[in-house]
A and B are shown apart, each in its own frame.
Chain A
Amino acid sequence: MEPIIAVVVGVLMAASVYLMLSRNLVRFVFGLALISHAANLLIFVSGGMIRGMTPLIAPNAALPEPGVANALPQALMLTAIVISFSVLAFALVLAFRTYEELKTVDTDAMRAAEPDNGIGEES
């Protein structure tokens, strides 16, 4: 299973880099969504993917029995998913607001902050 997931991570990374190299802001946001999935899967696969028992500690015992699954990578991923979800929401709104204000999604045509005359617009 691990080699398959590893390849999937690679493909997702490649696809997201391709999307993010685009000048189109919307494609960039999609690339961002993909790359966060790739990072989450990377944690999953590098944390070790084996079947194990539920990591519950029996009453009166101080330690779980040997052979329990490692729950930590899932906990990390869960945190990372929540963060990437909120960040993606922000990125989408930012892209939309930028489109409304600057009337373009082409990042090369966005020169409001760094115009060619070297002086920014009044903020």
Chain B
Amino acid sequence: MNWLLVGPIALPLGAAVIGFCLRGRDSAQRAVSLIAALGLAGVATKLLAVVWQNGITVSQMGGWPAPFGITLVADHLSSAMVAVTAVIGLATVIYSFGNTPPGEISYALHPLVHALLAGVCGAFLAGDIFNLYVWFEVMLIASFALLVLGGTRSQLDGAVRYAALSLIATTLLLSGIGLLYGITGTLNMADLHLRVQEVENQGLLTVVAVLFIIAFGIKSAVFPLFFWLPASYHTPKAAVSAIFSGLLTKVGVYALMRVFTLIFTHDVGYTHELLLWVAGATMVTGVLGAASQNELRRILSFHIISQIGYMILGIALFTEFGILGGVFYIIHHIIVKANLFFVAGAADRISGSTDLSRLGGLYRDRPLLALLFFVPAFSLAGFPPLSGFWAKLLLIQASIEASEFVIAGVALAVGLMTAYSMTKIWLNAFWKARPADAGPPPMPLPIRLRMLLLGPITGLAALTLAIGLYAKPLYSVAERAARELMDPSHYVEAVLDTDHPAQRQVIGRPPAQ
């Protein structure tokens, strides 16, 4: 058993349990939360370094050889995702110190955030499809509780929509897994890669693939399955909104990326073409939805949807370069999007509102916040030299190389529309004068609070700028991840003990029907 692979799951899970036991003791709970978040960041960095050095790292739980036991796998994609999850987790924990006063709802906030992180990391590291489902459920249950924490009317309303669609998605996923097991007799993803090539009934396999598209599509909020997202993401506390916007949908995208490179590659002409259409429609509807909104966090919510389209585009192109762009885009997007929600929370804290018609004058009153908004916002829109520019460049270049000129045009146009939305926020919240009916100008926040709120924002903005100015390291990780995804033989070799193939014939699969 390799503790490096268990750590990203066990650490936050332990922090969640200890955190719940410390209910009512705020400072102890916060200390545990911060230590665990720092520990997670350390383990995740180490994991990424080890994978970078040694390639795909595998751990068989309890010593049961794959495909019988539970396998944890970290390839470049998984370890990069775990690393960025740890960064967002740490930023959320620090930000929530400033954003949620002790006592009110924070007794459950920190444990639940860690439970969420455990679910997310587990989903990234799971080596078999049923465990992926289980970690999805862990993540979901934690997110349900986080969403309703505080119990206001709009939170409950949003949670009903979120929970309803998420639960349908997990049931579809479970059905898809059941059918896939019926067809192939295995759940291990590496083993599935081999088994699906022997399946005679390819049509049935495509049906299962579409079930997975729908299930993961609801999770990652693609067109036309995204309606839960703009209904719920603007309702919880700012720290919760930020971690949701950074991580939750991206787990769905990760799962799509994994499943549609490793398992369902038998009918690329159908499944990946479908994904391509979905990607285009998602980009366009998301950005148009954002243009019609006037509330800061709802604009940003719709932009999550439109950005998901770019990531799906990377999968749908199904070329090494396309996947590279997709992976780069996911990492860039997680950092930028969470940061924008942090900024929205800070603006809310300063001005008492996130409604654009009631905001104003933030550029004059809070020049630092304005600068810190500027970096992620125009990175999202794809302005050079920020990280979003490279992400969009890679994907559009990949589309052109794959001769998908229409989608390249759509991606460019959507980037322009994103710039429109970001400019709208900039003009209304930052540049125009504060409206007369918005009450007295904001009081300066205490210095400690300001540091807790602006610290994570500054850190993430610096990261965005660093990726933009020196894209090489992230590019190399994404390049290796794409190579591994497009040629799964290394993954399969690393997971399966190919020395003992005879055992696999006897047990572990259903009797012949």
Chain A residues near B (Cβ < 8 Å)? 20, 25, 28, 32, 35-36, 38-40, 42-43, 45-48, 50, 52, 55, 63-64, 66, 68, 70, 72-73, 76, 79-80, 83-84, 86-87, 90-91, 94-95, 97-98, 101-102, 107, 110-114, 118-123
Give CA–CA (A55, B510) in the complex, Å. 12
Give CA–CA (A111, B235) in the complex, Å. 13
Would you list which residues of chain B between 142 and 194 have a CB under 8 Å from chain A? 144-145, 148, 150-161, 163-164, 167-168, 170-171, 174-175, 177-179, 181-183, 187
The A interface is mostly helix, strand or loop, or mixed, namely helix
The yes or no answer to B507 lying at the interface (CB within 8 A) is yes
Give CA–CA (A118, B292) in the complex, Å. 9
Given contacts A52-B511, A86-B141, contact A46 B182 (CB under 8 A): yes
Nearest CB in chain B: distance from A41 CB, A: 9
Find out whether the CB atom of B171 lies under 8 angstroms from the CB atom of A113: no
Further 14 A-B residue pairs, CB within 8 A, beyond A72-B187, A76-B181: A43-B178, A52-B511, A55-B507, A63-B506, A64-B507, A73-B181, A87-B141, A94-B156, A101-B153, A102-B153, A113-B161, A113-B235, A123-B152, A123-B237
Q: Which residues of B contact A25 (CB under 8 A)?
A: 160
The yes or no answer to B234 lying at the interface (CB within 8 A) is yes
Q: Which residues of B contact A43 (CB under 8 A)?
A: 174-175, 177-178, 181
Tell which of A87, A102, A123 touches B167, judged by Cβ atoms closer than 8 Å: A87
The yes or no answer to B294 lying at the interface (CB within 8 A) is yes
Can you list 14 pairs linking A and B with CB atoms under 8 Å apart? A47-B178, A47-B510, A72-B187, A87-B170, A97-B148, A97-B151, A98-B159, A102-B156, A113-B158, A119-B294, A119-B355, A120-B235, A123-B154, A123-B234
Give CA–CA (A102, B161) in the complex, Å. 14
Q: Which residues of A contact B171 (CB under 8 A)?
A: 32, 35-36, 38-39, 84
The B interface is mostly helix, strand or loop, or mixed, namely helix
Q: Which residues of A contact B231 (CB under 8 A)?
A: 113-114
Give CA–CA (A10, B322) in the complex, Å. 39
Nearest CB in chain B: distance from A17 CB, A: 10
Find out whether the CB atom of B507 lies under 8 angstroms from the CB atom of A39: no
Q: Which residues of B contact A102 (CB under 8 A)?
A: 153, 156-157
Give CA–CA (A68, B168) in the complex, Å. 34
Nearest CB in chain B: distance from A24 CB, A: 12
Interface string of B132-148 (1 = CB under 8 A from A): 00100100110011001
Q: Which residues of A contact B230 (CB under 8 A)?
A: 114
Given contacts A64-B507, A83-B137, contact A91 B167 (CB under 8 A): yes
Q: Which residues of B contact A76 (CB under 8 A)?
A: 130, 177-178, 181, 187
Residue among B140, B179, B183, B507 having the largest count of chain A Cβ atoms under 10 Å? B507
Find out whether the CB atom of A28 lies under 8 angstroms from the CB atom of B295: no
Which residue on B lies nearest to A52, using beta carbons? Answer: B511
Interface string of B209-246 (1 = CB under 8 A from A): 00000000000000000000011101111000000000
The yes or no answer to B333 lying at the interface (CB within 8 A) is no
Chain B residues near A (Cβ < 8 Å)? 130, 134, 137, 140-141, 144-145, 148, 150-161, 163-164, 167-168, 170-171, 174-175, 177-179, 181-183, 187, 230-232, 234-237, 292-295, 298, 353, 355, 503, 506-511, 513
Nearest CB in chain B: distance from A29 CB, A: 9
Find out whether the CB atom of A98 lies under 8 angstroms from the CB atom of B160: yes
Give CA–CA (A52, B511) in the complex, Å. 9
Give the 3 A-B CB pairs with smallest separation, nearest first.
A46-B182, A43-B178, A48-B510
Which residue on B lies nearest to A9, using beta carbons? Answer: B175
Nearest CB in chain B: distance from A39 CB, A: 5
Q: Which residues of A contact B177 (CB under 8 A)?
A: 43, 76
Given contacts A87-B141, A112-B153, A113-B235, contact A94 B181 (CB under 8 A): no
Q: Which residues of B contact A83 (CB under 8 A)?
A: 134, 137
Find out whether the CB atom of B294 lies under 8 angstroms from the CB atom of A118: yes
Give CA–CA (A114, B233) in the complex, Å. 11
Given contacts A98-B157, A113-B161, contact A90 B144 (CB under 8 A): yes
Which residue on A lies nearest to B130, using beta carbons? Answer: A76
Give CA–CA (A31, B168) in the complex, Å. 10
Q: Which residues of B contact A66 (CB under 8 A)?
A: 506
Which residue on A lies nearest to B172, using beta carbons? Answer: A39
Find out whether the CB atom of B156 lies under 8 angstroms from the CB atom of A101: yes
Given contacts A35-B168, A113-B157, contact A42 B508 (CB under 8 A): no
Find out whether the CB atom of A39 lies under 8 angstroms from the CB atom of B174: yes
Q: Which residues of A contact B175 (CB under 8 A)?
A: 38-39, 42-43
Which residue on A lies nearest to B508, using beta carbons? Answer: A72
Q: Which residues of B contact A86 (CB under 8 A)?
A: 141
Residue among A64, A87, A118 having the largest count of chain B Cβ atoms under 10 Å? A87
